[in-house]
């Protein structure tokens, strides 16, 4: 089929209600106001549910969403800088503010002091609730022991603790056994029970697939519907970048890609003025948004997801459904296959049960939640017509789950050809960041989550500075661990040598690559790091940056040590500092590694080459 940028493509987009004409830009404020009014019932029901179901968890979420300036004001009002820290005067709010500023040990200590033997039971209950909302189960368990077993609200927190540890059925049983309570705490317990039942139903795929459509619309050959969790422009991460680059490359190759995000996105994430469609670089992104109250709990939202996606399928008439991790997207695609007989590709971009495990420790290995999530993912892999994944390590894991190897296609992370062009002039962005010409900028572009090992990089930075190395640490990104990482730089005494940029626009990412001299991927020695291949190291190599990465299987698959990068033992700041020292003082080696990495990426790691792999796969499924 012809490429879409021409008149035929514009007519096609307009025929399904999507346009990115200049008039769209002129009318954007009016469109956003209209979208806000349409989304108001759903947004209001979401906000009301968060506040009424679990006020403590809602407060934690609100703290993370507030602008930095307001968070600092709130911290001052809560008295986090007063000394000594005492448990008087709203200890829960003060502990939350301390946690948000990265002072996590102080926050937990404050909560523990606030539950002294003479503390009011209600205060103890709130402290335990905050510990759970902050994902600190050990602290929550210690605090709960100070409450009488029959105290109203205790059973709900026991259930939440069981859920956090992966014991979902036990959590429901605990709430079943809770004594009747018609007060607000009883309402919270009933809502928690229904939410857990919804989670279990989705994990077990206990959902109706819907009727088989008697009149199936004739598919448009070459039209692909990608089913994903989230997307640009509302969320920028490796997952969303991969989706967009795949769609762009497929479009250049003559395919007709469309993207649909999970039901409720992005309104559910706070973008209350989101429209029903976005067009990004010519790629249509469709939103499945309720017009009314948001369905709840998760099993009802999942059923709505299937129904809304079915209406989109009947309108777009795709020839193939291409769902990407997580299993919810795969389940929707498989339900649509039952209705319309369309082939399903399931793209495994990660093993999310392993990501969950990385946050909850190996004690969760084998738990009910872990096993159900693993089986839900595996079921999507086995039932799909084709499974796509990112690397050979991941392919081996999928095959070990019973998927025939001839139904597994490796389509690795890659870069657009534009990434292979020389980087932008580094002087403006380095000057803006306060980097001197002789500073060696070492850092990363990443989400700030625990398994990324950013704390290890900070420890290595302290060692490098002690050795007199002329380094600055540049950390681009944001995430739940940012406050703790900033606090760690204070404790290590390296704050003046560390730059936190916060989240940066997708369009500006290459500027930050240009500011770096060495790119680091210091992932920890956890299961998810060994199994899942990230995107950012590929982008760094495509940008001719020398790469230093942890010696875990998924990263070792990318690097030929001493040729395209260096490997260091995971979790070892000293050995990481040794590898970085070599590069800090050897600009010629930095150049050689960067050039070899770019050459490797240019040979086989481009999205254009990947688009050909997808086209061949779709053709084999009869979609072309």
* Greater model confidence, 270 or 2: 270
CA 486/CA 293 separation, integer angstroms? 39
CA 506/CA 608 separation, integer angstroms? 20
- What is the number of other CB atoms lying within 10 angstroms of the CB of residue 268? 19
Domain limits of the chain?
52-203, 211-410, 417-605
CATH class, range 417-605:
alpha beta
Question: Quick one: which of 545, 486, 547 has its CA closest to 514?
Answer: 545
Query: In the block, which residue shows the tokens 């002129």?
Result: 26
Which pLDDT does position 5 carry in this prediction?
34
* Pairing label, strands 408-410, 498-502: unpaired
Predicted confidence band of residue 150 (pLDDT cuts 50, 70, 90): confident
Looking at residue 212, what DSSP letter applies? P
CA 167/CA 161 separation, integer angstroms? 9
pTM of the model as a whole: 0.89
**What is the mean pLDDT of the segment spanning 49-72?**
82
* Pairing label, strands 283-286, 277-280: antiparallel
Which pLDDT does position 2 carry in this prediction?
33
User: How does pLDDT run across 467-518, given as a tens digit for each residue?
Assistant: 999 999 999 999 889 989 999 999 999 999 999 999 898 889 999 999 999 9
**What is the mean pLDDT of the segment spanning 230-250?**
95
The answer to whether 597 touches 546, Cβ cutoff 8 Å, is yes
Per CATH, the number for 52-203 is: 1.25.40
- Dig out the tokens for 400 from the structure: 């070990």
Instruction: Quote the CATH superfamily of domain 211-410.
Output: Glycogen Phosphorylase B; (3.40.50.2000)
The answer to whether 508 touches 557, Cβ cutoff 8 Å, is no
**What is the mean pLDDT of the segment spanning 570-583?**
98
Q: What are phi and psi of 29, to 5 degrees?
A: -60, -40
Which pLDDT does position 20 carry in this prediction?
39
- Asked whether the CA dihedral 555, 559, 564, 567 is positive or negative, the reply is positive
CA 446/CA 323 separation, integer angstroms? 24
Which pLDDT does position 87 carry in this prediction?
42
Domains 52-203 and 211-410 share a fold: no
Query: In the block, which residue shows the tokens 């025939």?
Result: 404
CA 619 to centroid of chain Cα atoms: 31
Predicted confidence band of residue 181 (pLDDT cuts 50, 70, 90): low
* Greater model confidence, 181 or 367: 367
**What is the mean pLDDT of the segment spanning 79-97?**
72
Is the bond preceding 20 in cis, omega lying within 30 degrees of 0?
no
pLDDT at 83 over 70: no
Question: Quick one: which of 87, 79, 155, 171 has its CA closest to 127?
Answer: 87
The answer to whether 543 touches 598, Cβ cutoff 8 Å, is yes
User: How does pLDDT run across 9-31, given as a tens digit for each residue?
Assistant: 333 333 333 343 334 445 678 88
pLDDT at 8 over 70: no
Which pLDDT does position 427 carry in this prediction?
96
* Pairing label, strands 471-476, 408-410: unpaired
CA 416/CA 245 separation, integer angstroms? 7
């Amino acid at each position: 089929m012809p490429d879409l940028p021409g008149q035929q493509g514009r007519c096609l987009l307009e025929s399904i209600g999507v346009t990115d004409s200049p008039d769209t830009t002129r009318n954007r404020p009016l469109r956003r106001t209209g979208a806000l009014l349409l989304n108001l019932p759903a947004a209001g029901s979401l906000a009301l549910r968060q506040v009424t179901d679990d006020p403590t968890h809602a407060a934690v979420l609100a703290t993370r969403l507030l602008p930095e300036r307001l968070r600092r004001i709130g911290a001052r009002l809560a008295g986090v800088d007063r000394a000594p820290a005492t448990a008087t005067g709203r200890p829960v709010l003060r502990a939350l503010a301390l946690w948000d500023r990265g002072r996590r040990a102080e926050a937990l200590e404050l909560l523990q002091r606030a539950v002294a033997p003479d503390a009011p039971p209600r205060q103890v209950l709130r402290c335990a609730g905050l510990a759970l909302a902050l994902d600190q189960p050990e602290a929550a368990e210690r605090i709960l022991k100070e409450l009488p077993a029959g105290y109203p609200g205790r059973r709900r927190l026991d259930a939440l603790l069981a859920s956090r540890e992966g014991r979902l059925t036990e959590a429901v049983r605990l709430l079943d056994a809770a004594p009747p309570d018609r007060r607000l705490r009883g309402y919270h317990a009933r809502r928690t029970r229904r939410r857990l039942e919804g989670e279990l139903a989705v994990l077990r795929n206990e959902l109706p697939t819907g009727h088989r459509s008697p009149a199936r619309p004739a598919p448009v050959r070459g039209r692909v519907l990608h089913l994903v969790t989230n997307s640009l422009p509302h969320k920028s991460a490796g997952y969303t970048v991969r989706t967009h680059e795949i769609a762009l490359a497929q479009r250049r190759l003559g395919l007709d890609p469309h993207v649909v995000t999970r039901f409720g996105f992005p309104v559910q994430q706070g973008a209350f003025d989101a429209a029903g469609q976005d067009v990004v670089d010519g790629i249509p992104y469709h939103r499945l948004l309720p017009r009314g109250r948001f369905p709840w709990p998760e099993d009802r939202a999942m059923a709505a997801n299937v129904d809304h996606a079915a209406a989109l399928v009947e309108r777009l008439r795709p020839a193939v459904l291409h769902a990407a991790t997580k299993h919810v997207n795969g389940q929707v695609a498989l339900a649509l296959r039952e209705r319309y007989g369309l082939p399903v590709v399931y793209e495994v971009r990660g093993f999310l049960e392993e990501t969950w495990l990385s946050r909850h420790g190996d004690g969760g290995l084998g738990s009910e939640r872990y096993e159900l999530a693993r089986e839900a993912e595996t079921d999507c892999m086995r039932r799909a017509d084709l499974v796509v994944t990112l690397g050979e390590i991941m392919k081996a894991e999928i095959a070990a789950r019973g998927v025939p190897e001839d139904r597994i296609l490796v389509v690795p992370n890659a870069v657009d050809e534009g990434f292979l062009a020389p980087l932008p002039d580094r002087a403006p962005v380095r000057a803006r960041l306060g980097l001197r010409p002789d500073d060696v900028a070492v850092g990363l572009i990443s989400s700030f989550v625990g398994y990324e090992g950013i704390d290890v990089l900070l420890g290595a930075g302290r060692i490098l500075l002690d050795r007199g190395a002329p380094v600055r640490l540049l950390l681009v990104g944001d995430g739940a661990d940012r406050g703790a990482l900033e606090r760690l730089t204070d404790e290590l005494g390296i704050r003046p040598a560390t730059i936190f940029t916060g989240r940066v626009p997708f369009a500006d990412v290459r500027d930050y690559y240009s500011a770096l001299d060495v790119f680091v991927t210091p992932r920890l020695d956890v299961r998810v790091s060994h199994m899942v291949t990230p995107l950012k190291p590929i982008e760094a190599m495509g940008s001719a940056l020398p790469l230093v990465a942890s010696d875990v299987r998924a990263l070792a698959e990318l690097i030929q040590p001493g040729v395209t990068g260096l490997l260091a033992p995971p979790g070892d700041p000293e050995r990481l500092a040794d590898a970085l020292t070599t590069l800090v003082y050897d600009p010629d080696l930095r150049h050689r590694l960067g050039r070899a990495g770019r050459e490797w990426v240019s040979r086989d790691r481009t999205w254009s080459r990947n688009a050909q792999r997808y086209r061949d796969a779709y053709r084999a499924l009869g979609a072309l």
